[in-house]
């Protein structure tokens, strides 16, 4: 649990010994039913434990003795003197003030806080962030930090210290671990803040509405402890408007991203002195530590790196152990991390997505401490989406970026990462190897497995590099060995899956000939013993960097023809290199080329300079001819030729005015002043101080520099001016201007001359360091002004003089404390408003009216007029609820206008005796009084006032909670109006029968949202209504009868466990609801039982009832009265929904529009994707947007896939198989063609296709083409890619991996390739494909050295290979299940040399048998007889494809 990571001692250990907070002494006869009762309730509501001397003593106790003990054990004593006390002020306000003061006293006594190590600093910092609690406005503050740093403890301390300043408070602990659904947390929050123990909501959408409605006028303090998903913040504190002014929300989290742009307090680890203090508290308790332990204490604290969780765990472990045990345990800690600590830290790792986990483990095992740009290159080479992944890890406090731009993490976080990997005891079973001894063990014992993804070891000193061990490592993507001087012989095998390959001092003369790493991005074999890399060409389409520097035996470079993306080539110090392969001229992406000190290099034919920024030919003393230039040379290209043998320059260089001297300085032809300055630099005549561009920026506030100290500045400004003129004259762009010292050790680059950098300082003997002037742009700020609603929820009618200062005041406070917006006719009117007009409007806009009848009520004409208006509103169609309260008057006196009411009416009649209209008004008053008194209400003449008020508030709150449907949120639901209109027409509310309507659509399309909207819109028209959310999930977690109990409780308005099995529930629903007009929504059903046992027939419910069902499976609702198919959003609504989540209420900048369009196009109108991606991009800068959008295009989002995958998980195995085939291969093909293929291995294809259509996983277009949503297709491919052994291959690269590495292929069912890539086949790999049923290849580029492919699966049902490249099919190929064989345009001479039996081969309906050559003779037993072709090709008129 989150609280277990506390860095401090527990609360209870330091809590004071008071049994009671307050002792309440009073005389019961005077005040018990009034003032004291309210005061007691007020203290209780604040959580102040109060002893009340005439109530809390148990029967039989000795009163004097108990009283004495209670007084002694109470922290505060309140003595109430009753005579005339309450007449001085309004009771409720006075009580409120007293409660505040007592609350301060009690909360201020939390002495445990003083014992929390380092709490004062945290409290001061966080309180400053909370920004003066007295200020209006609502603020959210996040407490963010790594696991175990003490976030929960600090939040708890802040909560306890500040809670007395708020009307209501709630600490929601350990939110991440909640297993009961979001609505359960919402119920807890409402119960705590409104002081009512009622489960008001049963779904999170209702909870969201209720929170916003009930708390908007309450000043609250809420702590959301340990959130790990954006939904938790959205549904518990989604908007600042939800809470009253002055409210504060504190959220603790390990993920900074969840806090967004709210105020964030980053919680660091402890200072060393505090860490020692905390450790000693747990290790020595109250004892004083012995001096002999001090050095050992420092060692433990150092290992814990001041992490509170570790200090606490280590301290408890060392408690009461002797010094020998300490030393032994410390040695053990240093070698093996503590599993208790690691398991708690591992929670953050478990919450990562798969790719993020891989990035984290790579960093923890071998990339920590390395420069960020280097780490990013490695991760990007593995196609991990490094930028987003690293940001997630930073936000979750798992890694950090140091001031030196290196990747860092806490020692214990690193230990946790290595612990995750080391859980496999056998090194060969681990995903990563970083210890030399583990790697050597794998090599010696041949224990490598497919699990190994990365090897990164400092050296390797064994004489043997095991081919067997490496062959099995089919997923190895990183191999980094920094030394291996003792290796003997050649290396026979390296995995073709490698992407990052570094081996310094590589000991062999070449790489293995079978090494075909087509995904390789980085190859570094510097300091190697290579003579050559390999012979011939290698297809390396992704290779970006080739580093062979200081390979002193290297004599020739590889062929670069098939390295189209090569950017960096380093051959420096290759002193035996004689020739650079001419194919380098094709490398158009080359950026840097280093041939420094290649003394024997004689032949360097050509180079492509289109992308080239840097080329070093220095000390190439044998190179006499400058290479031929291909492409246009960039202006900023830097070429060094110092001390080389080059004598002449190509004309292309001269033509472009690039003249290169032996020291590598660019000259500008026909510019003598530029030439003179460069010559001055070359001859070492320039001043020792290079102060370039000393003109001060208007943003530079530093003192002017001494011109004398920068003697060259004037000359250089003149040169700059001249170069600008040159730029205009030659109409070309001048690039950076390079200055370099003779030794070639460093360079200074001044950016474009029209924008000189500002120079910070001139240091003698050193170059000036340029400083860019950053653009300053006006930041746009926006704020949302909170607008309070003017509609009243409750209006109250009473005579002020009678009850305002006592009963009515307390009732008003009680309603307000429950978040019930109450209009008080003599208090809430603003100055200057017309009373009568304002009152009428308030009455009309209130849902409930409370009439407080007192003895003198009828004397007020104002009250009587209000009463008449209230009763008129009650009689209207959507009339309000009226509740009479008889304060100190008998209800019969009100009903019959007797006693004090008779006296009052006598005066009214006397007043209006000569006024006919007046007398009619009096009669109306009488009628209204009689009607009101006949209503069900509350008689509070007997009993305790505070308890009666509690009953009234409970009743109002319950009614308000259950019946109010807040429709304001609908205005933000994109496109909802059209859905509502369509559903209303299908529901036909005006017809008095029972009707069921299904809402059907693809996962994530918004079925639940639409159902909730129609429910909230129509529920007031029914006697009772129930929205059963997420039926599928709730039925899975609980029994169906629990849902039946929820349904009955909601509709019968009484919470109870009515039944304990679904059969009784079915009967009870029918019997209890058969005469009730109800509205029921069954959300997300996926089994027939859900409908059968919750709403099985029209006879179950009364006339006019409506049942709405949402589902992904159309079959379940085929018998409904109507089905509403929910379509994806049109483009304009999709953009609106995306903007709603990506920008909230802000207007997006122009720079985001194009990126927004890309995301919306990717989502293809699916609301789920638009919401998830919009939330992901919210409050991100444009650079992050670009990277995230690129990542979305590559990998979409696992959160979306997991939600869509629910539909897939509900399929039968055969249905899953066909769905994956369509997603991976058949989408976009004609239905007839797809059915032919699928029927080749499953005779029930048509029925299964209908199931997939019913579940909205596929659909048939108007052109009879099988289609599916883009994200459904991506979800299918995602499922295959997540399989340990993929079942389908549609990508040529994946096929090559399988063939080259002889990977386990037993799971492969389908290979379907359309590619121009050359394919190679492995007999071993093909032989393992026992489950292969479809083989479709469209390419003629195959490695066809033999006359026939060596092996094909005999389980093939569909075999399609255009341009089959071999002369024969394998002799051992006996595909008895084969239905389709298409080998058109092949190189076949004969199919085979003997007769074959094909019992399943069909030739009906379509071209299921295509013969390869006109002169081929084919004979075979077919299912429909014998088909013999003798030189006639029935499809010879078909043109061969190009």
What are residue 642's phi and psi, to 5 degrees?
-55, 135
Q: Are 1139 and 1156 in contact (CB under 8 A)?
A: yes
Q: How far is CA 435 from the centre of its chain?
A: 34
If you ran DSSP here, which 8-state letter would residue 352 be given? S
Beta bridge partners of 24: 52, 78
What are residue 1265's phi and psi, to 5 degrees?
-110, 140
Q: Are 640 and 744 in contact (CB under 8 A)?
A: yes
Counting every residue, how long is the chain? 1442
User: How far apart (Å, rounded) are the C-alpha atoms in residues 567 and 591?
Assistant: 5
User: How far apart (Å, rounded) are the C-alpha atoms in residues 418 and 802?
Assistant: 75
Q: Cα dist. 346→144, 146, 252, 311, 413 in Å?
A: 17, 11, 17, 17, 8
Retrieve residue 298's tokens: 């420092």
Q: What DSSP assignment string belongs to 128-151?
A: HHHT-TTSSS-EEEEEE--TTS-H
User: How far apart (Å, rounded) are the C-alpha atoms in residues 674 and 219?
Assistant: 72
Q: Are 1029 and 1110 in contact (CB under 8 A)?
A: no
Beta bridge partners of 1430: 1417
Retrieve residue 1186's tokens: 């670009």
By the 10 Å C-beta count (0-12 exposed, 13-18 middle, 19+ buried), 26 is classed as buried
**Catalytic status, residue 866:** yes
| Long-range contacts of the stretch 681-686 (C-beta < 8 A, 24+) | 681/739, 684/742, 686/712
Q: Are 567 and 591 in contact (CB under 8 A)?
A: yes
What secondary structure, in 3-state letters, does 194-224 show? HCCCCCCCCCHHHHHHHHHHHCCCCCEEEEE
Instruction: Name the residue among 9, 6, 8, 5 with its Cα closest to residue 343.
Output: 5
Q: Are 747 and 739 in contact (CB under 8 A)?
A: yes
Retrieve residue 1240's tokens: 């080749």
Q: Are 1182 and 1142 in contact (CB under 8 A)?
A: no
Contacts of 519 (CB under 8 A, 6+ apart): 477, 497, 498, 499, 542, 1293, 1297
If you ran DSSP here, which 8-state letter would residue 1076 be given? -
Q: What DSSP assignment string belongs to 1092-1113?
A: HHHS--GGGS-TT-EEEEEES-
What are residue 291's phi and psi, to 5 degrees?
-60, -30
Retrieve residue 575's tokens: 């002193």
If you ran DSSP here, which 8-state letter would residue 525 be given? -
Retrieve residue 226's tokens: 């340990």
If you ran DSSP here, which 8-state letter would residue 778 be given? P
User: How far apart (Å, rounded) are the C-alpha atoms in residues 740 and 749?
Assistant: 9
User: How far apart (Å, rounded) are the C-alpha atoms in residues 342 and 1030?
Assistant: 36
User: How far apart (Å, rounded) are the C-alpha atoms in residues 1336 and 1112?
Assistant: 33
Contacts of 393 (CB under 8 A, 6+ apart): 352, 356, 359, 360, 363, 399
Name the active-site residue from 516, 866, 1309, 1413. 866
Q: Are 1191 and 385 in contact (CB under 8 A)?
A: yes
Kindly list the catalytic residues: 866
């Amino acid at each position: 649990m989150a609280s277990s990571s506390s860095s401090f001692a527990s609360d209870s250990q330091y809590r004071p010994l008071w049994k009671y907070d307050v002792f309440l002494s009073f005389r019961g006869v005077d005040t018990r039913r009034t003032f004291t009762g309210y005061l007691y309730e007020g203290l209780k509501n604040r959580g102040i434990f109060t002893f009340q001397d005439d109530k809390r003593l148990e029967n039989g106790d000795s009163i004097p003795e108990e009283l004495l003990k209670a007084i002694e054990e109470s922290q505060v004593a309140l003595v109430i003197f009753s005579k005339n006390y309450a007449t001085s002020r309004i009771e409720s306000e006075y009580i409120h003030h007293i409660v505040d003061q007592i609350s301060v006293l009690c909360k201020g006594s939390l002495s445990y806080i003083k014992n929390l190590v380092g709490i004062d600093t945290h409290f001061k910092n966080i309180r400053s962030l909370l920004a003066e609690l007295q200020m209006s406005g609502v603020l959210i503050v996040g407490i963010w930090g790594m696991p175990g740093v003490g976030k929960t403890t600090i939040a708890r301390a802040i909560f306890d210290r500040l809670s007395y300043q708020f009307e209501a408070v709630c600490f929601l602990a350990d939110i991440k671990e909640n297993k009961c659904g979001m609505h359960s947390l919402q119920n807890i929050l409402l119960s705590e803040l409104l002081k009512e123990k009622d489960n008001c909501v049963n779904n999170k959408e209702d909870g969201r509405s209720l929170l916003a409605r009930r708390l908007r006028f309450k000043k609250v303090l809420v702590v959301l402890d340990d959130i790990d998903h954006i939904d938790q913040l959205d549904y518990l504190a989604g908007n600042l408007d939800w809470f009253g002014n002055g409210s504060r929300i504190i959220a603790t989290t390990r993920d900074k991203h969840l806090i967004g742009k709210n105020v964030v307090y980053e919680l660091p680890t402890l200072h060393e002195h505090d860490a020692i203090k905390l450790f000693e508290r747990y290790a020595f308790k109250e004892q004083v530590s012995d001096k002999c332990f001090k050095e050992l204490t420092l060692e433990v604290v150092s290992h814990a790196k001041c992490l509170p969780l570790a200090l606490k765990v280590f301290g408890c472990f060392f408690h009461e152990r002797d010094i020998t045990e300490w030393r032994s345990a410390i040695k053990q800690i240093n070698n093996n991390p503590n599993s208790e600590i690691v398991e708690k830290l591992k929670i953050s790792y478990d919450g990562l997505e798969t790719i993020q986990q891989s990035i984290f483990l790579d960093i923890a095992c071998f990339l920590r401490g390395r420069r960020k740009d280097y780490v990013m290159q490695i991760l990007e080479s593995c196609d991990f989406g490094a930028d987003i992944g690293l940001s997630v890890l930073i936000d979750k406090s798992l890694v950090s970026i140091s001031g030196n731009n290196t990747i860092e993490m806490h020692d214990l976080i690193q230990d946790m990462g290595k612990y995750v990997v080391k859980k496999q005891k056998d090194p060969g079973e681990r995903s990563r190897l970083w210890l030399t001894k583990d790697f050597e063990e794998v090599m010696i014992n041949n224990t490598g497995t497919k699990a190994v993804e990365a090897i990164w070891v400092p050296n390797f000193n064994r004489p043997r590099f095991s081919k067997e061990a490496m062959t099995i490592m089919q997923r190895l993507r990183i191999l980094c060995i920094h030394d291996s001087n003792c290796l003997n012989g050649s290396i026979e095998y390296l995995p073709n899956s490698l992407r990052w390959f570094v081996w310094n001092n590589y000991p062999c003369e070449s790489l293995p000939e079978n090494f075909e790493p087509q995904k390789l991005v980085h190859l570094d074999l510097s300091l190697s013993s290579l003579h050559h890399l390999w012979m011939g060409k290698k297809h390396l389409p992704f290779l970006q960097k080739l580093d062979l520097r200081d390979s002193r035996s290297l004599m020739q470079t590889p062929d670069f023809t098939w390295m189209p993306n090569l950017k960096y080539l380093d051959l420096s110090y290759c002193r035996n290199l004689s020739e650079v392969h001419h194919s380098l001229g094709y490398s158009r992406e080359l950026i840097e080329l280093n041939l420094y000190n290649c003394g024997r290099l004689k032949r360097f034919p050509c180079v492509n300079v289109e992308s080239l920024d840097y080329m070093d030919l220095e000390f190439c003393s044998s190179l006499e001819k400058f290479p031929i230039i291909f492409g246009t040379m960039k202006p900023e290209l830097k070429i060094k030729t110092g001390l080389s043998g080059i004598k002449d320059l190509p004309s292309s260089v001269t033509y472009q005015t690039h003249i290169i001297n032996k020291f590598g300085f660019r000259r500008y032809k026909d510019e003598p002043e530029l030439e003179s300055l460069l010559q001055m630099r070359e001859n070492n005549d320039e001043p020792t101080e290079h102060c370039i561009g000393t003109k001060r920026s208007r943003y530079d506030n530093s003192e002017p520099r001494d011109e004398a100290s920068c003697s060259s500045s004037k000359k250089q400004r003149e040169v700059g001016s001249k170069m600008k003129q040159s730029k205009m004259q030659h109409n070309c762009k001048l690039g950076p201007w390079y200055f370099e010292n003779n030794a070639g050790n460093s360079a200074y680059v001044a950016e474009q001359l029209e924008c000189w950098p500002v120079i910070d300082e001139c240091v003698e003997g050193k170059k000036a360091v340029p400083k860019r002037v950053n653009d300053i742009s006006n930041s746009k700020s926006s704020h949302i002004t909170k607008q309070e609603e003017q509609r009243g929820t409750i209006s109250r009618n009473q005579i002020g003089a009678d009850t305002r200062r006592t009963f009515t005041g307390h009732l008003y406070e009680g309603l307000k404390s429950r978040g019930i917006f109450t209009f008080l006719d003599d208090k809430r009117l603003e100055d200057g408003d017309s009373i009568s007009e304002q009152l009428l409007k308030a009455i009309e806009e209130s849902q409930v009216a409370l009439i407080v009848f007192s003895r003198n009520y009828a004397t007020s004409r104002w009250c009587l007029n209000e009463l008449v208006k209230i009763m008129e509103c009650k009689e209207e169609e959507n009339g309000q609820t009226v509740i009479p309260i008889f304060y100190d008057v008998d209800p019969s006196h009100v009903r019959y206008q007797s006693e004090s009411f008779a006296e009052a009416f006598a005066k009214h009649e006397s007043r209006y005796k000569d006024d006919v209209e007046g007398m009619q008004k009096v009669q109306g008053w009488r009628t209204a009084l009689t009607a009101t008194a006949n209503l069900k209400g509350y008689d509070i003449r007997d009993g305790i006032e505070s308890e009666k008020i509690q009953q009234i508030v409970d009743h109002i709150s319950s009614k308000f909670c259950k019946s109010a449907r807040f429709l304001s949120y609908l205005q933000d639901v994109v496109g909802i109006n059209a859905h509502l209109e369509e559903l209303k027409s299908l529901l036909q509310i005006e017809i008095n029968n029972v009707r069921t309507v299904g809402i059907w659509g693809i996962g994530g399309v918004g079925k639940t949202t639409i159902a909730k909207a129609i429910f909230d819109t129509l529920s007031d028209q029914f006697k009772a209504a129930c929205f059963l959310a997420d039926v599928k999930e709730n039925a899975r977690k609980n029994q169906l009868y629990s849902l039946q109990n929820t349904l009955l409780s909601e509709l019968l308005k009484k919470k109870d466990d009515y039944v304990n099995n679904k059969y009784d529930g079915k009967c009870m629903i029918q019997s209890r609801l058969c005469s009730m007009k109800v509205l029921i929504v069954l959300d997300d059903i996926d089994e027939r039982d859900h409908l059968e046992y919750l709403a099985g027939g029209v006879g179950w419910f009364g006339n006019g009832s409506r049942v709405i069902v949402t589902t992904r499976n159309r079959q379940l609702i085929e018998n409904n009265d109507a089905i509403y198919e929910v379509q994806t959003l049109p483009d304009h609504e999709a953009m609106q929904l995306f903007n709603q989540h990506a920008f909230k209420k802000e207007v997006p900048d122009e720079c985001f529009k194009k990126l927004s369009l890309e995301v919306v196009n990717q989502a293809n109108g699916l609301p789920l994707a638009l919401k998830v991606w919009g939330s992901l991009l919210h409050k991100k800068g444009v650079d992050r947007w670009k990277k995230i959008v690129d990542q979305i295009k590559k990998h979409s989002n696992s959160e979306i896939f997991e939600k869509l995958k629910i539909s897939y998980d509900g399929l039968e195995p055969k249905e899953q198989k066909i769905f994956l085939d369509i997603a991976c291969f058949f989408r976009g093909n004609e239905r007839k063609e797809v059915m032919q293929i699928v029927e080749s291995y499953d005779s029930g294809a048509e029925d299964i296709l209908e199931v997939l259509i019913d579940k909205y996983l596929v659909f048939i277009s108007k052109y009879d083409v099988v289609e599916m949503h883009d994200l459904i297709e991506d979800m299918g491919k995602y499922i295959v890619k997540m399989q340990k052994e993929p079942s389908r291959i549609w990508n040529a690269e994946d096929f090559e991996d399988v063939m080259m590495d002889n990977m386990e292929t037993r799971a492969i069912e389908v290979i379907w390739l359309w590619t121009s890539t050359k394919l190679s086949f492995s007999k071993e790999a093909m032989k393992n494909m026992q489950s292969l049923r479809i083989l479709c290849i469209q390419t003629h580029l195959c490695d066809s050295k033999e006359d026939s492919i060596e092996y094909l699966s005999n389980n093939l049902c569909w075999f399609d290979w255009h341009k089959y490249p071999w002369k024969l099919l394998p002799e051992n190929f006996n595909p008895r299940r084969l239905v389709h064989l298409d080998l058109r345009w092949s190189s076949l001479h004969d199919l085979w040399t003997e007769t074959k039996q094909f019992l399943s081969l069909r030739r009906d309906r379509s071209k299921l048998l295509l013969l390869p050559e006109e002169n081929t003779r084919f004979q075979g037993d077919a299912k429909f007889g014998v088909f013999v072709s003798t030189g006639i090709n029935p499809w010879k008129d078909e043109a061969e494809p190009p």
